[in-house]
């Protein structure tokens, strides 16, 4: 399925663009004569813009053919990144990050929704998992490559790299993505109705709470791993690679489990694995007194990263199933919930870190995770994601 590879490239390019700033902050700060703290707000503005814009743009672009939205949006995304190379001031760079976030907020949810639509019913989870893998691979590859480029060729070279990657995604999606049937003409009010349904809102709330729990240890991975093993910052890069590689594998595993077990069973099983691995890391932090062996830390990070990213396919498959005809809009709203959860993780985790250190971050994440598991189990029981009795594959037209 060439179109699936194209969508994977699309999320890989978008994820790289999002994460790459972390690796080139010193170069940007030095070149534009701002502090690293100020330069770090480029990450904040991207996330906030994406979270706020995704649901709005999903509704606004509902009548745009999916193929045109994805291919055209990626083309604009490539242009924005190339233009970023010439940003000579911090305000201009900030404006271009907002523009990139707006395009990403329109394209990413559409990519997930199209993957769920084009794939046969028995392979929906795998298709969504493949698209999600682009994000995890960008975390493993994008940040190190961006950092290396920034150190050796200037921060602008990182955006040249993203522009080239996006151009490749444009070429692949333009030649492989089928023409989907035109969307029915539905008013904005009618499209918003499914997003107010309790099952959809419960999914989004679970995503917010789950992200705040599941990603909190990653945001503070340096002090967390230092408290567990006492190795300081020397192993942080290696720990991130372990987490990222496990996450990339997890997206594939999560997709297969979604197809094999069903959406709800896979969702609860993988969420339980995330919570248990977080509890295990908390226990190690309390019992090992900062002397846990490196192999144990790597093992725990691998299990945690794999389970956390494996949770992505059933999560998106569930919201797509429950939202029905408003699938793209629901995925966009769910993605916004993810970014809200990340912001909460930073706030709550920062408070825990200042009071009880890295182990406190893990304990806070574990408690929030257990609350989320109980809430998700209750909502899954109340609103099961049943497969329709007749679920024919959507007919497509070749380009």
Each domain of the chain, given as residue ranges in start order, spans: 1-185, 193-387
Beta bridge mates, 397: 179
Please determine whether the domains at 1-185 and 193-387 fall in the same fold group of CATH: yes
What's the pLDDT at 388? 52
Lookup: tokens for 352: 């825990």
- Inform me whether the pLDDT recorded for 169 exceeds 90: yes
Reported confidence tier of residue 172, pLDDT bands at 50, 70, 90: very high
Q: Would the pTM of this model clear 0.95, i.e. be above it?
A: no
Which range has highest mean pLDDT (112-126, 127-141, 233-247, 263-277)?
263-277
- Residue 376 contacts residue 302 (beta carbons within 8 Å): no
What's the pLDDT at 397? 46
Q: What is the fold of 1-185?
A: Growth Hormone; Chain: A; (1.20.1250)
User: Which of 133-147, 257-271, 294-308, 333-347 comes out lowest in average pLDDT?
Assistant: 133-147
Averaged pLDDT for residues 250-274: 92
Averaged pLDDT for residues 181-206: 69
- Residue 207 contacts residue 336 (beta carbons within 8 Å): no
User: Distance from first CA to last CA of the chain, Å, rounded?
Assistant: 14
Using the structure block, give the residue that is written with the tokens 């046969």: 120
What's the pLDDT at 194? 60
Question: Measuring CA to CA, which residue among 112, 17, 126, 121 is closest to residue 58?
Answer: 112
What's the pLDDT at 1? 65
What's the pLDDT at 387? 64
What's the pLDDT at 221? 83
Compute CA 376 distance to the chain's CA centroid, rounded to the nearest angstrom.
19
List, for residues 355-398, the tens digit of each pLDDT value: 888 899 999 999 999 999 999 999 999 999 876 544 444 444 44
Q: Could you tell me which residue, 171 or 343, shows the higher pLDDT?
A: 171
Reported confidence tier of residue 181, pLDDT bands at 50, 70, 90: low
Lookup: tokens for 215: 């990603």
Averaged pLDDT for residues 126-132: 81
What's the pLDDT at 229? 87
List, for residues 15-24, the tens digit of each pLDDT value: 888 878 766 8
List, for residues 101-119, the tens digit of each pLDDT value: 999 999 988 888 888 788 8
Q: What whole-number distance in Å separates Cα of residue 71 and Cα of residue 164?
A: 15
What's the pLDDT at 391? 44
Averaged pLDDT for residues 28-52: 82
The mean pLDDT of the chain is 85
What's the pLDDT at 345? 85
CATH no., domain 193-387: 1.20.1250.20
The percent of residues in the chain predicted with pLDDT above 70, rounded, is: 91
User: Which of 130-134, 265-269, 362-366 comes out lowest in average pLDDT?
Assistant: 130-134
Q: What whole-number distance in Å separates Cα of residue 51 and Cα of residue 45?
A: 10
Reported confidence tier of residue 80, pLDDT bands at 50, 70, 90: very high
What's the pLDDT at 393? 43
Beta bridge mates, 179: 397
What's the pLDDT at 394? 42
């Amino acid at each position: 399925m060439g179109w699936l590879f194209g969508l994977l490239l699309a999320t890989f390019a978008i994820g790289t663009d999002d994460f790459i700033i972390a690796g080139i902050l010193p170069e940007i700060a030095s070149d534009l004569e701002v502090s690293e703290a100020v330069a770090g707000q480029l990450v904040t503005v991207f996330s906030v813009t994406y979270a706020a814009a995704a649901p709005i743009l999903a509704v606004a672009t509902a009548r745009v053919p999916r193929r045109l939205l994805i291919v055209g949006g990626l083309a604009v995304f490539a242009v924005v990144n190339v233009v970023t190379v010439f940003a000579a001031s911090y305000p201009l760079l900030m404006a271009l990050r907002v523009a990139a976030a707006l395009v990403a907020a329109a394209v990413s949810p559409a990519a997930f929704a199209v993957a769920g639509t084009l794939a046969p019913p028995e392979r929906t989870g795998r298709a969504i998992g493949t698209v999600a893998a682009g994000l995890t691979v960008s975390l493993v590859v994008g940040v190190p490559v961006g950092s290396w480029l920034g150190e050796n060729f200037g921060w602008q070279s990182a955006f040249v790299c993203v522009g080239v990657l996006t151009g490749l995604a444009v070429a692949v999606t333009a030649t492989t993505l089928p023409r989907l049937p035109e969307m029915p003409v539905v008013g904005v009010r009618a499209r918003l109705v499914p997003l107010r349904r309790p099952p959809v809102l419960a999914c989004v709330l679970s995503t917010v709470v789950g992200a705040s729990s599941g990603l909190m240890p990653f945001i503070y991975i340096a002090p967390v791993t230092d408290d567990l093993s006492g190795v300081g910052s020397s192993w942080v890069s290696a720990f991130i690679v372990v987490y990222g590689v496990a996450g990339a594998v997890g997206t594939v595993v999560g997709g297969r489990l979604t197809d094999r077990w069903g959406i709800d069973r896979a969702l609860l099983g993988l969420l339980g694995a995330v919570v248990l691995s977080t509890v295990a890391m908390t226990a190690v932090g309390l019992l090992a007194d900062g002397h846990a062996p490196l192999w144990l830390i790597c093992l725990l990070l691998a299990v945690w990263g794999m389970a956390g990213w494996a949770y992505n396919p059933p999560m998106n498959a569930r919201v797509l199933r429950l939202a029905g005809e408003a699938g793209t809009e629901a995925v966009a709203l769910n993605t916004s919930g993810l970014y809200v959860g990340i912001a909460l993780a930073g706030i709550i985790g920062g408070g825990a870190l200042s009071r009880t250190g890295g182990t406190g971050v893990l304990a806070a994440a574990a408690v929030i995770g257990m609350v989320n598991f109980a809430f998700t189990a209750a909502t899954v029981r109340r609103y099961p994601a049943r497969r329709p009795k007749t679920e024919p594959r959507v007919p497509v037209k070749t380009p």
